[in-house]
Amino acid sequence: MPPFGLLHMRAWASLFGQLLRPRRAVFIREVRVHSQVAEAVLTSQLKPHQEKSHFVIKTPKGTRDLSPQQMVVREKILDMVIGCFKRHGAKRIDTPAFELKDFDIAGQFDPMIPDAECLKIMCEILSGLELGDFIIKTSWKDVRHEMVVKKGLAPEVADRIGDYVQCHGGVSLIEQMFQDPRLCQNKQAREGLGDLKLLFEYLTLFGIAEKISFDLSLARGLDYYTGVIYEAVLLQTPAQAEESSNVGSVAAGGRYDGLVGMFDPKGYKVPCVGLSIGVERIFSIVEQRMKTFGQKIRTTETQVFVATPQKNFLHERLKLIAELWDAGIKAELLYKNNPKLLTQLHYCEDMGIPLVVIIGEQEMKEGIIKLRLVASREEVAIKRENLVAEIQKRLSES
């Protein structure tokens, strides 16, 4: 899997035109490798004396097929991620590169406000996905190189910062560095620590400071980061560590103020900060945990199944299911003229469908429909004209 934040140059080229237009822009980059549906390779192996063709269907390299159960899990992850992005005012663009979900804030703003929001978004997504406890490490890119070469710090001051590389913590660590005379006497070091202190003030207001660890040992491998960097890792219990291999980071990001200018002949710079969510890595973690605990996944969203205990009731079932569909209720039936009732009920239990409506001769005579609760196997009689309203009521309460 590529490092988080690394995008194909074409992705940035398409992003560039969007970035230069508005003063404030927040984007979701939806980046992926290939469609999982459209690119099967068919190889004909027809020989001259054969009447039939034999085809070998191959999955394109770099992709994999997903089962219905896997698609349900993956879509839930994507819905959680994209929903969070939209909650924070994101606009959506699509750039074909790697399988990540990215959120970026572009524009000239006061220090650390966008950076703090990116960390807040990361916390919301990881908490919502219920992956377990996590920590987000934050630092800045290539500490000593930044301090000496780019910020003009004296080497001995940078070396003093290096003494803190083995430390990690929150505001207390930053306060400790503020009190170090060899750091606080230098303007650049003092400004940098001031930005970090401000960042933690905002993180405290957002209620996520305990999830963030200032860690100077953190180093991102990409050259375009220019300031604060961060990386989220899951905290495993000893039992979890034995059961699975180290998954590495599940989200990461940082500030990259100089990258967009690479695509402008005039060198116009757009300050940017963003984050990437490793969808495929998270999907693998969730999938493995589900296998471990034997969790069952519903592959459909069907709410009601239309059944009958008798023969020659297909027309009545079709009229009934059409009424449910027209009311916006997710419903299905077996595609058989005369299915056995036990087969229909077993299907509902296997697929996790919560409700069954049953129509037969007796129900027709009495002007009712039987409504069966699959979980409890309880059945109640509902007047035919009240069926849709009763189903909607029960679905809203579940």
Binding residues for L-histidine: 104, 220, 224-225
394 CB contacts (<8 Å, ≥6 apart)?
A: 355, 371
Among 226, 20, 184, 207, which residue's Cα sits nearest to residue 117? 207
Annotated binding-site members: 104, 220, 224-225
Rg (CA), the chain: 29
β-bridge partners, 41? 58
Among 225, 196, 227, which residue's Cα sits nearest to residue 213? 196
Contact between 134 and 240 (Cβ < 8 Å)? no
Burial environment of residue 276 by CB neighbours within 10 A (0 to 12, 13 to 18, 19 or more): buried
Tell me the C-alpha distance between 169 and 319, whole Å. Answer: 65
Place of tokens 């409700």: 355
Q: Which helix (H) or strand (E) holds 250?
A: strand 249-255
